[in-house]
Amino acid sequence: MEILEDKPGKQILLLGNEAITRGALEAGVDVATTYPGTPSSEIADTFSLIARAFTKQKKEPPFYFEYSTNEKVALEVAGAAAISGLKSLTCMKHVGLNVASDTFMTYMYIGLRGGHVIVSADDPSCHSSQNEQDNRYFALFGGAPMLEPSTPNEAKEMTRIGFEISETLQSPLLLRTTTRLNHVRGAIELKKLQKPRKKGHFEKNPNWVTTPAVARAQHPKLLKMLKKAEEISEKSQFNKIIDIGKPKGWGIVTSGVSYNYVKEVVEDLKLNIKILKLGMTHPLPRKMCENFIKSCKNIVIVEELEPILENQFKAIAYDVGSNIKIYGKSTGHFSRLYEYNPDIVFEVFSKIFNIKNPIKKPKESKIKLPSRPPALCPGCPHRATYYAAKKAQPKGIIYPTDIGCYTLGREKPLEMADLLLCMGSNAGTACGLAVATDKKIISFMGDSTFFHSGIPPVIDAVHHRHDVVITVLDNRTTAMTGHQPHPGTDFDGMGRPARRILVEDVVKGCGVEHIEITNPNKIKETTEAFKRALDFKGTAVVVSKSPCILLANRDKRKRGEKIPVYHINQEKCRKCKICIGQFGCPAFYYGEDGSIFIDDQQCNGCGNCVDICPFDAISPKEEK
């Protein structure tokens, strides 16, 4: 594996996320944990890939890795290892840190003995997220030192050096990334791989137990640590001033991927300017910032999302008695919304510096183009569950949903997703809707989501006798983020056998009195199961079990089994359009004369269309 090569000086192309994994290996990481989530997933998937390769060769992997039940558990597993003197990495998407925040905030009080890099992958523009929160606030909120890389190579170096900073300060460190870092490839210069420590040692100390008295004593230590962190920030190689041309009183302050756009735009516009590129953005190198402010007459702050640098620079300017002009979000030049790009920086800089923008207004095609929105795959078992649930009672139901592929059930023709907040919210909001309305409620969540944060609201429903139907779509994988294992699979992230936990056993243990276990590919039986669940007065759980079609077909191919392809007998077809207009499988299409066909290339051979066709017009065609 190229990523494991111990050839210092060699250049290889890596994804930003892979570069973070490499940086951790170069630091000698012992323990890595995660809950998968875009855009962070490939960091952990790379650890998993390496660990599985070792396991396959019957060798001990160089580190311990797990896909934890959720982000909070991930932080606790890796945190305890760091407290025991090991080097840990925990990665998650930005909203994952909300889940882990209870642990994070107090972890900052007690610190650690080894090293711990916590990676937050933020998603400006919500490419694949339910919000675009700026997790730099978490560094300020909890008091964590923070690094923000601009390129994959910098991400690798910041991870490697982040471990050193974390160990020196005996504090967890936040590596804050964004989608355009996580999902950008660039050349990496390899450094030597460090040997892990492997085993830690837990030294008993009453200060590890955060009673109120301990917490009061630890808080001043946290503030003292931040003072020391500021000294590191002053000397950090990641904070630097870059002169472009002959600077004459104008300065730019920037961090993260914004720096990339700023540098090229400034060069293209031939501006004479100096750039303060901040890589360690918490705590700020205060003296460096003060001197930068004093050396400029005007400053432009370029940062995506929240005005975090901007507000701090205004405070510093006030403290040093400077009346420098600061351009940024408060002056209306830059937006607090969405990710930036070269076009945005060109436009704003042209205004501020009064130069003609060389980027012309983008051309748009005069022809209207059809969209290609994401959809449930042909053969997806979720579609069958949705269809069956709708058949049980077609009208008057509210459908709270959750985070996963099944969120796509929101689209036509199913339209069975009515309310979504975050991981696990389906069942909690189901309870609230049952209290607030007279409607029947059927909620949906995936199996990975169930284990992540779906269990407490099920307990709430049972205990309070809420009249709801909670559905667990059990496809035996974390599908949306790339088919990672979870507590319901019989192997773990290192490729080792794991104890499988069954959803139905858990809900039984939670006291659910009415449990339906169904195979969604048997649509009529599944409809009956939903009918019984709806008739039950109280909390009913439907566990709809069928593996993700992509995994099922992959396994079939591996075993040498054929995957059938279905076709429509045009003589029997009465064009009732149930298959295309109500079931909505994307393998179906209209021919020019309005006849309906199935695309061989797209059909995944689930055969559910055979059951839903009232005229017996669909049957297997051939094998592919």
Q: Hey, what amino acid is at 152?
A: P
Candidate list 28, 39, 162, 605; residue touching other proteins; CB under 8 A: 39
State the residue for tokens 């104008």: 250
Residue 349 binds other proteins, judged by CB under 8 A? no
**Cα torsion 223, 226, 230, 232: sign:** positive
Reply yes or no: is the peptide bond before residue 283 cis, omega within 30 of 0. yes
**Of 287 and 556, which CB lies nearer to other proteins in the complex structure?**
556
Whole-number Å distance between alpha carbons of 200 and 217: 26
Residue 586 binds other proteins, judged by CB under 8 A? yes
Whole-number Å distance between alpha carbons of 527 and 608: 13
Candidate list 48, 260, 426, 478; residue touching other proteins; CB under 8 A: 260
Per-position x/- string for 365-384, each x denoting binding to other proteins as judged by CB under 8 A, each - no binding = xxxxxxxxxxx-x-------
Per-position x/- string for 497-536, each x denoting binding to other proteins as judged by CB under 8 A, each - no binding = ----------------------------------------
Q: For residue 467, how many other CB atoms are within 10 A of its CB?
A: 17
Residue 356 binds other proteins, judged by CB under 8 A? no
Q: Are 539 and 559 in contact, with CB atoms under 8 Å apart?
A: no
**Of 45 and 66, which CB lies nearer to other proteins in the complex structure?**
45
Taking the complex as a whole, the smallest distance from the CB of residue 531 to other proteins amounts, in Å, to: 28
Per-position x/- string for 118-147, each x denoting binding to other proteins as judged by CB under 8 A, each - no binding = ---------xx-------------------
Candidate list 21, 34, 38, 84; residue touching other proteins; CB under 8 A: 38
Residue 362 binds other proteins, judged by CB under 8 A? yes
Stretch that binds other proteins, among 79-87, 257-265, 433-441, 501-509 (CB under 8 A): 257-265
Taking the complex as a whole, the smallest distance from the CB of residue 312 to other proteins amounts, in Å, to: 24
Whole-number Å distance between alpha carbons of 505 and 291: 63
Whole-number Å distance between alpha carbons of 170 and 151: 27
Taking the complex as a whole, the smallest distance from the CB of residue 171 to other proteins amounts, in Å, to: 31
Residue 364 binds other proteins, judged by CB under 8 A? yes
Strand partners, 278: 255
Whole-number Å distance between alpha carbons of 181 and 523: 44
**Of 102 and 268, which CB lies nearer to other proteins in the complex structure?**
268
Residue 22 binds other proteins, judged by CB under 8 A? no
Residues binding other proteins: what is the number (CB under 8 A)?
Answer: 57
Stretch that binds other proteins, among 5-13, 134-142, 384-392, 536-544 (CB under 8 A): 5-13
Q: 393 vs 77, 163, 526, 528, 537, CA distance in Å?
A: 44, 56, 12, 10, 16
Reply yes or no: is the peptide bond before residue 362 cis, omega within 30 of 0. no
The β-bridge relationship of strands 325-327 and 87-93 is: unpaired
Q: SS3 for 41?
A: helix
Taking the complex as a whole, the smallest distance from the CB of residue 588 to other proteins amounts, in Å, to: 7
**Of 42 and 157, which CB lies nearer to other proteins in the complex structure?**
42
Stretch that binds other proteins, among 167-175, 211-219, 335-343, 518-526 (CB under 8 A): 335-343
Taking the complex as a whole, the smallest distance from the CB of residue 599 to other proteins amounts, in Å, to: 8
Stretch that binds other proteins, among 214-222, 394-402, 463-471, 585-593 (CB under 8 A): 585-593
Q: SS3 for 607?
A: coil
Q: For residue 423, how many other CB atoms are within 10 A of its CB?
A: 25
The β-bridge relationship of strands 273-278 and 240-244 is: antiparallel
Residue 350 binds other proteins, judged by CB under 8 A? no
Candidate list 511, 590, 595, 624; residue touching other proteins; CB under 8 A: 590
Stretch that binds other proteins, among 281-289, 327-335, 356-364, 506-514 (CB under 8 A): 356-364
Write b or e for each residue in 192-208: b if 16 or more Cβ atoms lie within 10 A of its Cβ, otherwise e.
ebbebbeebeeeeeeee
DSSP string of 372-420?
----PPTT-HHHHHHHHHHHH--SSEE-B--SSGGGGGGSTTT----B-
Stretch that binds other proteins, among 55-63, 130-138, 163-171, 576-584 (CB under 8 A): 576-584
**Of 101 and 341, which CB lies nearer to other proteins in the complex structure?**
341
Per-position x/- string for 161-190, each x denoting binding to other proteins as judged by CB under 8 A, each - no binding = -------------------x--xxxxx---
Q: Quick one: tokens of 384?
A: 């069958």
Candidate list 69, 103, 133, 151; residue touching other proteins; CB under 8 A: 151
Q: Are 621 and 603 in contact, with CB atoms under 8 Å apart?
A: no
Stretch that binds other proteins, among 52-60, 68-76, 212-220, 260-268 (CB under 8 A): 260-268
Whole-number Å distance between alpha carbons of 422 and 174: 23
Q: For residue 20, how many other CB atoms are within 10 A of its CB?
A: 33
**Of 78 and 405, which CB lies nearer to other proteins in the complex structure?**
405
Residue 264 binds other proteins, judged by CB under 8 A? yes
Residue 464 binds other proteins, judged by CB under 8 A? no
Q: Hey, what amino acid is at 81?
A: A
Per-position x/- string for 402-441, each x denoting binding to other proteins as judged by CB under 8 A, each - no binding = ----------x-----------------------------
- DSSP class of residue 306 equals S
Whole-number Å distance between alpha carbons of 39 and 61: 25
DSSP string of 542-570?
EEEE---HHHHHHHHHHTT---EEEEE-T
Binding site for other proteins (CB under 8 A): 11-13, 15, 38-39, 41-42, 127-128, 150-151, 180, 183-187, 257, 259-261, 263-264, 341-343, 346, 359-360, 362-375, 377, 412, 480-481, 580-581, 584, 586, 588-590, 599, 602
